[in-house]
Amino acid sequence: MNRRNDHPASPAPLRPAARRASSMPRSAIREIMAMAAGRPDVIHLEVGEPDFGTPGDITERAFEAVRAGATRYTPNAGMPRLRELVAGRVAARTGAAVTAAEIVITTGAIGALFTALNVVVDAGDEVLVPDPGWPNYESILHLAGATPLRYTMRPDNAFLPDLDEVERLIGPRTKAILLNSPGNPSGAVFPQAVMERFGTIARRHGVYLISDEIYEDIVFEGEPVSALSVAPADRVLLISGVSKSYAMTGWRLGWMVAPAQLAALGAGLQEPVTSCPAAPSQAAAMAALAGPQDEVFRFRDIFKRRRDIVEEVFRGTGLLPFVPRGAFYALIDIGRSGRDSLSFAKDLLIRDNVATVPGITFGPSCENFVRVAFTTEDRKLRTGLERLRDRLLASDG
């Protein structure tokens, strides 16, 4: 009788999960969203997405495309017609000669960021990132085995970078500088002189500029300046998409603009990650870019009106050190509370039913702030801001 399996040996201890995945920095944005989920009557000032739906003509044309067969794989770099439309849009905005060969369509702008960083960064490289800045920048670099070096943007300088500090941080392992204008979480918009200096730095030190311009259509004063219009084209990777401008966050459609050789590498990276962006989403993006742009301007005007509500509620309190000039975020100073930003945000949610994002998730320089997103309707926005203001003013007593 074969008794080999009668008394099986104890299984060996299971090998651990990947250290790089388990040690990846986590965003407090999702932590607050999870806490707020299911709570009744929460005023959501934490979510960075427009509160209105995708314009009906875009949705309808996407449905028509699906009914006509837009349900299959597409090329890794995206549909040729969409790449042409993006190239035309970028060329018109920047004055650069951009072709479809320099466009990679991605699954959301986060997909474009992931692709851009991974086509230029090797393990052990360094990348300069903004502080405060979107936490996913550092998460992607962590997964790539690269090192983020923070450059600080202070409220007393309109959340603009100290470009002398930026230049001092560049060393032999520095591969790229990541910049974001209009900015999340500050709402800062980098002026022409700042962007030109970034171009000079890229030229002088031989580093790439990875420019996150996803909020390019949401600017309240002046015009946004693209890195591609002021820096050498061979070292700029531009990130954008349809999520914010067209209220299309759930369609997950973005793009990377890069020198043709890097774009080809980026298209190749799509294969093992997402294969290609979703065909229906690409059809929707084509409708958005080729159609009337009236809704984009209307959305911008709504956000400007809400920005003005933020300014009005906090006027004279010293709690709003910088009035945002773009995007749809503002940083509120909670220093007088004596609390760290995470515990303050959790307490505000529990006690006042207002969800905000703790500043620490955007970097050490932002610990004394919470971020509010003015992406909810005016009445609720005002109520939530007043509760936040009153909570902070009460801490003075």
Instruction: Identify the pLDDT of residue 66.
Output: 97
Is residue 176 exposed (0-12), middle (13-18) or buried (19+ Cβ within 10 Å)? buried
Residue 397 has a pLDDT of 47
Task: For 161-211, write each residue's pLDDT tens digit.
Answer: 999 999 999 999 999 999 999 999 999 999 999 999 999 999 999 999 999
Mean pLDDT of 46-75: 95
Q: If you search the block for the tokens 């996803």, which residue do you land on?
A: 214
| Confidence at residue 3, expressed as pLDDT on a 0 to 100 scale | 53
Question: Is the CB of residue 367 less than 8 Å from the CB of residue 359?
Answer: yes
**1 pLDDT exceeds 70?**
no
Measure Cα distances from 88 to 67, 95, 113, 178 in Å. 27, 10, 21, 24
pLDDT at 395 over 90: no
Q: Taking 60 as the threshold, does the pLDDT of residue 289 lie above it?
A: yes
Distance (Å, whole) CA 115 – CA 95: 24
Task: Provide the pLDDT for residue 26.
Answer: 80
* pLDDT at residue 98, rounded to an integer: 97
This prediction's pTM: 0.94
Mean pLDDT of all residues belonging to the chain: 95
C-alpha dihedral sign at 122, 124, 128, 133: positive
Residue 354 exposed, middle or buried by CB count within 10 Å (0-12, 13-18, 19+): buried
The answer to whether 230 and 198 have CB atoms below 8 angstroms apart is: yes
Distance separating alpha carbons of residues 338 and 180, to the nearest angstrom: 30
Domains of the chain: residue spans and CATH:
19-54+294-394 (3.90.1150.10), 57-290 (3.40.640.10)
Interval 33-58 mean pLDDT: 93
The model's pLDDT over 334-384, given as tens digits with 9 standing for 90+, comes to 999 999 999 999 999 999 999 999 999 999 999 999 999 999 999 999 999
Of the candidates 116, 91, 87, 118, the one whose C-alpha atom is nearest the C-alpha of residue 101 is 87
Q: pLDDT tens for residues 224-270? A: 999 999 999 999 999 999 999 999 999 999 999 999 999 999 999 99
